[in-house]
Chain A
């Protein structure tokens, strides 16, 4: 089946640090990838849609300058949390669709747990 790999799985860093999270589609090409954020016991909330070769589309309330997304190739999207603060601590998950067109499921990475001290 379609495999999405996310790295790192866990990051602990000091406040003010920038953290980059990678999302790779291992056995398929993805023109579109999605970045979600999940707080404890809450739903996954879409942050942004990452489009290969063009700018990401951010959801309302998500700061573009805070969460930088780069989708430089058909198999890699990165999310950089810039100048991270404790309130950015969360579980970040990416996903991709293995096929274009309607009615195709998204496949998720295993997520990155980000803890800002």
Chain B
């Protein structure tokens, strides 16, 4: 049963524009959310996270928004760059020491020049 869902398998955006990646979750116990970026044949790289006490977290070009009532979060990348082209995974956990992550299936982002 997929508790974290990324319903868009792919997204194409022009360089300089905003990329918006979406993620929905079903488990109301999740209280910590993360975005990872992954290139082929490499492990995921941590990008940005947000705890459930916040609704927005910003780090440079990356902003994550959390809407707890809708059980929805999104990652905004502004401006998008060709180097951002990768698969982005949304993950969530019921956090305490040692709890593991539930991942979505990923969204493949292509940023075109």
A residues whose Cβ falls under 8 Å from a Cβ of B: 4, 6, 9, 31-32, 34, 41-46, 49, 51, 91, 93, 95, 97, 100-103, 105-111, 113
Contacts and interface: CB of A to CB of B under 8 A. Distances in A.
Interface string B45-74: 110010100000000000000000000000
12 contacts: A6-B43, A9-B41, A42-B105, A43-B89, A43-B103, A44-B44, A44-B103, A46-B100, A46-B102, A102-B51, A102-B95, A108-B36
A98 to B, nearest CB: 10
A44 B51 contact: no
Contact of A49 (B44, B100, B104): B100
B98 A103 contact: no
A107 B104 CA distance: 17
Interface of B: 2, 4, 32, 34, 36, 41-46, 49, 51, 89, 95-98, 100-106
Query: Which secondary structure dominates where chain A touches chain B?
Result: strand
Given A43-B105, A103-B32, A32 B97 contact: yes
Contact of B101 (A6, A46, A102, A103): A46
A46 B42 CA distance: 17
Given A108-B45, A113-B41, A44 B97 contact: no
Nearest to B46: A105
B100 A103 contact: no
Contacts of A95: 43, 101
B89 A44 contact: yes
